[in-house]
Structure 1
Amino acid sequence: MVSEVLPCYVVCDVSFSMTDHIDEVNAGMREFRGVVHADRRATAQIRLCVVVFAERPLVVQPLLPALDPAEPIRPRQESGSDFGSAFTLVHATIERDVKSLKTQRIRVRRPMLFFISDGRATDRGWPQALARLCATSSCPEMIAFGFGAVDQPALDRIGTSRVFLGRDGVRLGLALASSVARTVLRPEHV
């Protein structure tokens, strides 16, 4: 029985503009799972939930052990990137997941949220949705990863813990693994 869990939420922009980056996102997810697989403690503790968004958000993988097989992330033929609705959905998802884990008498570490996008928000209300997420007792540690010509000020605002940029040569899988390394992974696996 697992006594402690680190819930990780990957929130990925899948709008039309992300089409050229989706293969790299899926490769990064596989690389992250490989790193988790190399460390037994991580295998037992890390849970992963995947939320995709464009004009609307969707949970495509509920919170499961990080090694459970997942469907590849696919782009949508939608031009909008509604950050606010993504933050609202992940806020409700984290609250539900943390409550469920605690009901099972599992100790929950502070959740981590990995926000992945290549562009700019198409909704104006996203800062308020982000503020509501961060104002809760289960506020996640926020890490942002940007592909291409990102809105750097927006990513800096979202990634309060860290911001990674693909244009700097950082691989998504390494960014994910290094972010959880401080909490669960042994340094030799990163």
Structure 2
Amino acid sequence: MVLDVLPCYVVCDVSCSMTDHIAEVNAGMREFRGVVHAERRAAAQIRLCVVVFADSPQVVQPLRAAIDPSETITPQQESGSDFGSAFTLLRTVIERDVHSLKAQRIRVRRPVLFFISDGHATDHAWPEALARLTATASCPEMIAFGLGAVDPPALDRISTSRVFLGRDGVRIGIALASSVARTVLRPDHV
């Protein structure tokens, strides 16, 4: 039996502008893990990587089973939200992860990238880094989730699929779980 794996990347802005929203992000991650844990098929397929960024990006949880406890996301006392460096790091991380899984003879579904931010980038060249990420063979399905006083046009540019807004009453855990679940349940998404 060939194992199908869905690499899922949660990318969270942890700059000063997001400080008031980090508890909501952590609650959403716990809720997502609970949903995945309850669905045996999803639990077997979903791998999760968590990346945070402010002035610079950092992988806080390498790709592993989504039901494993994840690192708590903490805010950083940095004012920058460097989207470009986050997208550049993600391009490298996703390509490495997909290559590693395939080397293990695991069938890899198209990755899902769940981008959480208020949408206010402090670097102006981020669209070029985003274009390089989406031009790769391992191009992820991009889902954006806006918290606080969002910049909807920026989130619309990032998303290739859907944009969720916390101000609409949508919870992070439910948005992430529904996005991933529809991917896991769609056989054409391989």
The number of residue pairs the alignment matches comes to 186
Q: Show structure 1 runs of 4+ deviating over 4 A.
A: none
Deviations 1:136-180 (A, max 9, x none): 111000000000111110000101200000000000000001101
Distance 2:181 2:3 in 1: 19
Distance 2:132 2:119 in 1: 22
Residue 43 of structure 1: aligned partner = 43
State whether structure 2 residue 13 is matched by structure 1 residue 7: no
Letter in 2 for 1:176: L
Q: Residues 15 and 80 of structure 1 are in contact (CA less than 8 Å); yes or no, is this contact kept in structure 2?
A: yes
Q: Residues 2 and 44 of structure 1 are in contact (CA less than 8 Å); yes or no, is this contact kept in structure 2?
A: no
Q: TM-score, normalised by structure 2?
A: 0.95
Give the SS at the match of 1:184. helix
Residue 125 of structure 1: aligned partner = 125
Residue 106 of structure 2: aligned partner = 106
Within 5 A, what are the aligned runs for 1:67-78? 67-78=67-78
State whether structure 2 residue 144 is matched by structure 1 residue 175: no
Q: TM-score, normalised by structure 1?
A: 0.95
Letter in 1 for 2:80: G
Within 5 A, what are the aligned runs for 1:20-169? 20-169=20-169
Following superposition, the deviation at residue 182 of structure 1 comes to: 1.1
Distance 1:64 1:119 in 2: 27
Q: Residues 16 and 75 of structure 1 are in contact (CA less than 8 Å); yes or no, is this contact kept in structure 2?
A: yes
Deviations 1:47-84 (A, max 9, x none): 00000000000000000000111120000000000000
Task: Identify unmatched segments of 5+ residues in structure 2.
Answer: none
Give the SS at the match of 2:184. coil
Following superposition, the deviation at residue 119 of structure 1 comes to: 3.8
Task: Identify unmatched segments of 5+ residues in structure 1.
Answer: none
Following superposition, the deviation at residue 2 of structure 1 comes to: 6.7
Percent of aligned pairs with the same amino acid: 82
Deviations 1:33-52 (A, max 9, x none): 00000111111100000000
